[in-house]
Amino acid sequence: MKVTLLKAPVDRLTMAQAEERVAELVRGGGARRIITLNPEYLYRAVLGEPDLLELVHKADLVTADGEGIVWAGRVAGTPFPERVTGIDLMLRLVRRAAAEGWKVYLLGAAPGVAEEAAENLRRRHPGLQVAGTHHGYFKPDEEQRIVEDIKKTAPQLLFVALGAPAQEKWIDRNIERIGNVTAMGVGGSFDVIAG
Ligand code: UDP
């Protein structure tokens, strides 16, 4: 069930249910999008950036990230069962990926950070298949090459850490060219995981 906050439909799911939803998306195939919606993104979407609101409507899963979103759900009389943040969901999905044999690709953060994050994740989950990594400080004319690289390595899950809303826009621009992938913006998560 969804609750619509300021015109943005948000899924009312626990973390465990969100993970199951993603598993369904991966199994179903195709280009799939996840947005973990925080108040900053929602304010911008509502206050004059309708393209951001459109991305929320296009997403296959929208989670309640941020206390402000959880609060708004409560006030609206349609409480969210819990907060589902980008980093928490990413860590759940990485664990699931290791168990299911899904490949993950890490795009974003400063040079070296995605590699280090991948290394830490592999240490935590032996057997995790990292399809590839790329830093997030590339020029627009390099984007095509990066998209080709991701497509070639064929990950089931693509984590994009470019900050919001750049990461959601990046996913929207490129996901159809990658094709069979479930993509999610994760903000500063790689920095946290890299430690
Ligand atoms: N970043 C990037 N390329 C850019 C700008 C930012 O890869 O051109 C990365 C940055 O290194 C950081 C992440 O995007 O790892 C943004 O983290 P932040 O916590 O600011 O994002 P938010 O959680 O606010 O969306």
**Could you give all domains of the chain from N- to C-terminal order, each with its CATH number?**
2-194 (3.40.50)
Burial 45-69 (b: 16+ CB within 10 A, else e): beeeeeebbebbeebbbbbbbbebb
Tell me the pairing of strands 61-64 and 129-134.
Answer: unpaired
pLDDT tens readout for residues 144-174: 999 999 999 999 999 999 999 999 999 999 9
Distance CA 62, CA 33 (A): 9
What number does the ligand 1 atom closest to the CA of 108 have? 7
Ligand 1 site, residue 66, Cβ cutoff 6 A: no
Question: For ligand 1, is residue 136 a contact (CB within 6 Å)?
Answer: yes
The predicted pLDDT at position 4 comes to: 76
Q: Is 86 in the pocket of ligand 1 (CB under 6 A)?
A: no
pTM value?
0.97
CA 15 to ligand 1 centroid distance, Å: 23
pLDDT band at 8 (very low <50, low <70, confident <90, very high): confident
Residue 130's CB is within 10 A of a number of other CB atoms, namely 20
**Does the structure show a pLDDT above 80 at 3?**
no
Token pair belonging to 192: 């946290």
User: Hey, whose CA ends up nearest to atom 18 of ligand 1?
Assistant: 188
Q: Does ligand 1 lie within 6 Å of residue 39's CB atom? A: no
Residue 64: predicted pLDDT:
96
Indicate whether residue 108 lines ligand 1 (CB < 6 A).
yes
- How far is 157 from 26, CA to CA, in rounded Å? 8
